[in-house]
Structure 1
Amino acid sequence: MSETSSPRRSSRRRQAVIKSANTSSSLGRDRWLLSYADFITLLFAFFVALYSIAIQHKGDEVRLTETLYGVFDAVQKSIKPINIGEPIIGDPKDIKFEDAAPVPAATPVADKKPQDTSPSVVFSLLKQVVEEQFQGLQQSGQINISESADWVSLELKSGLLFGESEYELSNEAVALLMLVSNVMISYPSVIMVEGNTDNLPTNSSRLASNWHLSSLRAASVVDELVYQGVNPKMIAPIGFSSERPKVRNTNTYARQQNRRVTLRISKRNASNLYDYLFK
């Protein structure tokens, strides 16, 4: 009896040992996952640190610290839907839908632009702009505004608008033309932009003659006004070279007076400049 039971106990013991060994080996095979997960976490944190260091802006140190804390202390969260109101039971066909009422059309806003668009208003507004914003330039003769029976004329000396033998606008010229464009957008009129030079030849290799210089300067002014919103159908440049001097080109001061760009604003109503000139 004892000899029979002894082999059985021994057999059970061997089976238990084998089972325990198999379990231990199975657990041992899965332990690499922990090391792999730690490695991936550290590698991710390393690249986050490199990226944060590469961004050289104020406050990056704080952002780096917060990022690293977020990587190592992150807690996975499950997102659960939040029910609002009573749960819906049944098929969607049981739900009743109501037709949405049409949105009433918006009430048109009345145009706030002044109704008086007479040429005298344009002259008054331009004169006010010049006196309030560019009084010093007006006193020095760099800007002059005048009025005749057919035109409102805003004369700008070329020294105010351009460098010597140049046709690109200066910053001061752009600021002035921005204010002028606001008036002309509110009170559209036909505008002729005239470029004038003195009688000395140009000293620039890019320009063949004063005809080119006067035309390009007038075109630069037109480009800026159109860019600011003036209707391109109501404005055009024209260059007169030195053929329309204000005074005789006898000295340096006289030549400065002749180098100018003049905005001539018509007092006659017209829908576009082409019809105004040719029809």
Structure 2
Amino acid sequence: MSDAQLKSPKRRRIIAKKPPSGAQGRDRWILSYADFITLLFAFFVALYSLSLKNAGDEQRLKETLHGVFDAVQKSVKPINIGEPIVGEPKDKEVIETKPIPTASPTIEDSKSSAVYVLLSQVIENQFSGLHAKGQISVTESADWVSLELKSGLLFGQGEYELTNEAVALLILVANILKKHPSVILVEGNTDNLPVKSRRLISNWHLSSLRSSSVVDELVYRGVDPKMIAPIGFSSEHPKVRNTNDYARQQNRRVILRISKRKADNLYDYLFQ
């Protein structure tokens, strides 16, 4: 065989041309197009759902949208880059809805409710006139039963010694608190006017002495001293703004806050 015949195949060899640099990703627009079609379909499904008026339409809408967004295999399949994913994702979490248990009333709650009921009955039966004038009131919240007593009902002007009417009232209150022992905080509150007495230094002094007088009387009537304590707030916790005499009268008050949480003593209740 001649040398020309041996070299001839090389002349017929076709060299493949390299594709342009952008040819590899020229079909990627299909991804965006498929996402657009999916969202457009969901949009028309939502519009269709607004026209439904039969019972159970809300559940049908929920199931339809769930199928549109979650069931990827039932819609247009995207172009996979790399190895295709077969089956369900392994990291898919299944959230199981469980009913929230309803808290049943405890023994402490029933006792606190009993305190509120008994105090309300005493006020209605024995002190309805004072209640109508706003001199005494009882309220209940999630954590406390609060008995509010205006200072004019308990003390003379600028004084911290209990009147006879105040002692009679506190005897009835003490009888209830002894039957249903709970933590009790006695709060003393004043207005913002400075005190005019040589025996008192400030409103802090007056509010503390007034709350202490109430605590002394309740302990004397049988309330456990480990479960009660006085607190003086001076004029720092007003009920209304101290703009006139009537408003200041509303702010001069003593509040018995009876806790609805069980505790063996007040110290552990506050600090442990």
Residue 239 of structure 2, aligned match among 226, 246, 249: 246
Tell whether the 8 Å contact from 2:188 to 2:231 is kept in structure 1 after alignment: yes
Aligned to 1:225: 218
Aligned to 1:176: 169
Aligned to 1:13: none
Report the alpha carbon displacement of residue 272 of structure 1 after superposing the two structures with TM: 0.5
Aligned to 2:202: 209
Verify: 1:143 aligned to 2:133, yes or no. no
- Secondary structure of the residue aligned to 1:268 is coil
Aligned to 2:152: 159
Tell whether the 8 Å contact from 2:109 to 2:260 is kept in structure 1 after alignment: no
Q: Distance in 2 between matches of 1:179 and 1:278?
A: 30
Aligned to 1:126: 119
Q: Distance in 2 between matches of 1:116 and 1:175?
A: 28
Matches within 5 A, 1:103-122: 118-122=111-115
Verify: 1:269 aligned to 2:262, yes or no. yes
Question: Is there any run of 5+ residues in structure 2 with no aligned partner, and where?
Answer: 1-107
Report the alpha carbon displacement of residue 205 of structure 1 after superposing the two structures with TM: 0.7
Report the alpha carbon displacement of residue 216 of structure 1 after superposing the two structures with TM: 0.1
Tell whether the 8 Å contact from 2:155 to 2:163 is kept in structure 1 after alignment: yes
Question: What does the per-residue CA deviation read over 1:171-203, in whole Å, with 9 as the maximum and x for residues that have no partner?
Answer: 000000000000000000000000000000001
Report the alpha carbon displacement of residue 139 of structure 1 after superposing the two structures with TM: 0.3
Q: Which one-letter code corresponds to 1:255 in the other structure?
A: R
Question: Is there any run of 5+ residues in structure 1 with no aligned partner, and where?
Answer: 1-114
TM-score, normalised by the number of residues in structure 1: 0.58
Q: Which one-letter code corresponds to 2:138 in the other structure?
A: I
Q: Which one-letter code corresponds to 2:244 in the other structure?
A: N
Which runs of 4 or more aligned residues in structure 1 lie more than 3 Å from their structure 2 counterparts after TM superposition?
A: none
Report the alpha carbon displacement of residue 155 of structure 1 after superposing the two structures with TM: 0.2
TM-score, normalised by the number of residues in structure 2: 0.60
Structure ID, larger Rg? 1
Aligned to 2:191: 198
Q: Which one-letter code corresponds to 1:125 in the other structure?
A: L
Report the alpha carbon displacement of residue 118 of structure 1 after superposing the two structures with TM: 1.9
Q: Which one-letter code corresponds to 1:137 in the other structure?
A: L
Q: Which one-letter code corresponds to 1:260 in the other structure?
A: R
Tell whether the 8 Å contact from 1:117 to 1:187 is kept in structure 2 after alignment: no
Q: Distance in 2 between matches of 1:129 and 1:234?
A: 22
Aligned to 2:178: 185
Identity %: 75
Query: Structure 2 vs 1, CA of residues 237 and 196 (structure 1 numbering), >3 Å: closer, same or farther?
Result: same
- Secondary structure of the residue aligned to 1:149 is coil
Q: Distance in 1 between matches of 2:211 and 2:258?
A: 14
Tell whether the 8 Å contact from 2:188 to 2:210 is kept in structure 1 after alignment: yes
- Secondary structure of the residue aligned to 2:258 is strand
Q: Distance in 1 between matches of 2:200 and 2:154?
A: 18
